C-alpha cells in the first residue's frame, strides 16, 4: 500500500490525539490523587482558621466526601475500563488495595489505642500513615514518584509540626494537600 | 524494516488500536467508551472490532456488570506489536520525506 508523507503525518497526529484523549479520560489514579489532594488542601486550610471544636466535624465530613468522590470516580471509570480479570495486574491491584485497607484498619486501631492525642498529633498521625502507604506501595511497585511523594510530604509535615506548630494546618494544606493535588495534575498532564 | 499494516491503517481501526495501546497491558476498554471516544455507531464500531479480532489484534470479552451486558476490548500482544510496527513504518515515511526536504 502507498502512503504519502502527508497521510503518514495525519495518521500519526490522529494516533497522538487518540492516545492523549484516552489517557486523560482514563487516568483513574490521577483523578483519585487530585480528589484527595483537594480535600486535604481545603480541609487543612479550613482547620487553620476555625475553632478547635469544629475540627472534629471537618475531619468527619472530609473523609466521607472523599469516599463518596472515590466511589463516583471508580464507578464512572469502571464503566469505561477495567483490569483484565485473573491477570497479573489484577492480582497486584487487588493486593495493593488490600494493603491499604489493612493499613487504614490498623491506623484506626492505633488511633483509638493511643488516645488521648492532641489535634496536631492526630493530623500528623494520619498524614504520615497515608504517606507510609505511599512509600511501601512505591517500593513494591517500583514507582519512584510514590516514594518521592511519601518521603517528601512526611519530611515537610514533621518540619511543620516541630518548627511551626501554630501554622501546622496551613503548612499541611500546602505541603500535604498541595503535593497530592499537584502530583495528580502532573500525572494527568504528563501521561500522554 | 517496519511495514505498513493494511488492517490497522484504516482510519477508524487506527484510532481504535491507538486507544487500546495507550493503556497498560492487561487493561480492557469498554465498547461504549470506545464508541463515544471515536464518535461511532454501534454497528460501525462493531464491524471494525470484528475485523481487528479476526486479525488477532484484539480480544473482546462479553460480561455482565450489574446485570447489564458489557463488552470489553483489549489489544493482544501481537496487536500491540503490529501497531508499533505500523507506527514505525509511518515515522519512516515521514522522516524520509523530511530528509529529502
At CB < 8 Å, which residues of chain A contact B? Answer: 1, 3-5, 8-9, 11-12, 14-15, 18-19, 21-23, 25-26, 78-84, 87-90
A9 CB neighbours in chain B (<8 A) are: 94
Cell of B42: 454501534
Residue of chain A whose alpha carbon sits nearest to that of B88: A12
- Does B19 sit within 8 Å of A11, measured CB to CB? no
Q: Check pLDDT > 70 for residue B1.
A: no
Give me the pLDDT at residue A177, please: 97
| Sign of the CA dihedral running A167, A170, A174, A176 | positive
Bigger pLDDT: B67 vs B76 = B76
- Does B74 sit within 8 Å of A15, measured CB to CB? no
Give me the pLDDT at residue B96, please: 79
**Does the predicted TM-score (pTM) go above 0.90?**
no
Q: Check pLDDT > 80 for residue B79.
A: yes
Give me the pLDDT at residue A15, please: 96
Q: Measure the CA–CA gap between B5 and A22, rounded to whole angstroms.
A: 22
* B15, B25, B30 member nearest A81 (Cβ): B30
Q: Check pLDDT > 70 for residue B20.
A: yes
Query: How far is residue B86 from each of residues A15, B9, B92, B93, B97, measured CA to CA in Å?
Result: 11, 8, 10, 11, 17
Give me the pLDDT at residue B101, please: 43
Task: Reduce the DSSP state of residue B74 to 3 states and report it.
Answer: strand
Residue of chain A whose alpha carbon sits nearest to that of B96: A5
Establish whether this prediction's ipTM goes over 0.95.
no
Average pLDDT over residues A159-174: 97
Q: Which residues, numbered 30 to 49 in chain B, qualify as contacts with chain A under a Cβ-Cβ cut-off of 8 Å?
A: 30, 32-33, 37-38
**Mutant choice from B73, B94, B97, B100 vs A, greatest count of A C-beta within 10 A:** B94
Q: Check pLDDT > 90 for residue B100.
A: no
Give me the pLDDT at residue A62, please: 93
Other Cβ atoms closer than 10 A to A126: 17
pLDDT tens sequence across A24-74: 888 888 999 999 999 999 999 999 999 888 888 999 999 999 999 999 999
**Mutant choice from B15, B39, B98 vs A, greatest count of A C-beta within 10 A:** B15
Residue of chain A whose alpha carbon sits nearest to that of B23: A23
- Does A1 sit within 8 Å of B94, measured CB to CB? no
Cell of A86: 485473573
Q: Check pLDDT > 60 for residue A173.
A: yes
Asked if A175 and A158 count as a contact pair (C-beta separation under 8 A), the reply is: no
Q: Measure the CA–CA gap between A76 and B29, rounded to whole angstroms.
A: 13
Average pLDDT over residues A2-24: 92
Mean of all residue pLDDT scores within chain A = 93
* A1, A9, A78 member nearest B94 (Cβ): A9
Other Cβ atoms closer than 10 A to A10: 15
Amino acid at each position: 500500500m502507498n502512503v504519502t508523507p502527508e497521510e503518514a503525518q495525519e495518521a500519526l497526529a490522529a494516533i497522538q490525539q487518540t492516545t492523549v484523549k484516552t489517557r486523560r479520560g482514563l487516568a483513574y489514579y490521577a483523578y483519585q490523587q487530585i480528589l484527595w489532594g483537594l480535600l486535604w488542601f481545603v480541609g487543612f486550610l479550613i482547620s487553620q482558621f476555625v475553632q478547635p471544636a469544629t475540627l472534629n466535624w471537618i475531619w468527619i465530613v472530609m473523609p466521607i466526601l472523599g469516599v463518596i468522590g472515590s466511589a463516583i470516580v471508580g464507578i464512572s471509570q469502571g464503566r469505561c475500563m477495567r483490569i483484565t480479570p485473573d491477570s497479573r495486574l489484577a492480582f497486584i491491584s487487588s493486593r495493593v488495595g488490600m494493603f491499604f485497607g489493612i493499613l487504614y484498619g490498623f491506623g484506626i486501631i492505633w488511633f483509638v489505642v493511643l488516645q488521648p492525642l492532641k489535634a496536631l498529633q492526630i493530623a500528623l498521625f494520619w498524614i504520615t500513615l497515608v504517606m507510609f502507604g505511599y512509600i511501601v506501595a512505591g517500593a513494591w511497585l517500583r514507582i519512584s514518584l510514590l516514594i518521592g511523594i511519601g518521603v517528601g510530604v512526611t519530611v515537610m509535615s514533621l518540619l511543620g509540626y516541630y518548627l511551626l506548630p501554630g501554622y501546622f494546618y496551613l503548612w499541611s494544606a500546602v505541603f500535604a494537600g498541595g503535593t497530592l493535588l499537584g502530583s495528580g495534575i502532573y500525572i494527568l498532564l504528563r501521561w500522554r | 524494516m517496519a511495514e505498513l499494516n493494511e488492517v490497522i491503517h484504516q482510519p477508524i481501526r487506527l484510532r481504535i488500536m491507538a486507544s487500546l495501546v495507550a493503556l497498560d497491558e492487561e487493561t480492557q476498554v469498554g465498547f461504549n467508551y470506545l464508541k463515544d471516544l471515536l464518535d461511532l455507531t454501534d454497528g460501525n464500531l462493531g464491524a471494525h472490532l470484528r475485523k481487528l479480532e479476526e486479525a488477532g489484534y484484539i480480544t473482546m470479552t462479553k460480561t455482565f456488570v450489574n446485570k447489564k451486558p458489557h463488552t470489553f476490548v483489549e489489544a493482544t500482544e501481537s496487536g500491540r506489536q503490529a501497531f508499533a510496527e505500523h507506527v514505525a513504518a509511518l515515522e519512516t515515511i515521514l522522516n524520509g520525506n523530511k530528509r529529502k526536504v
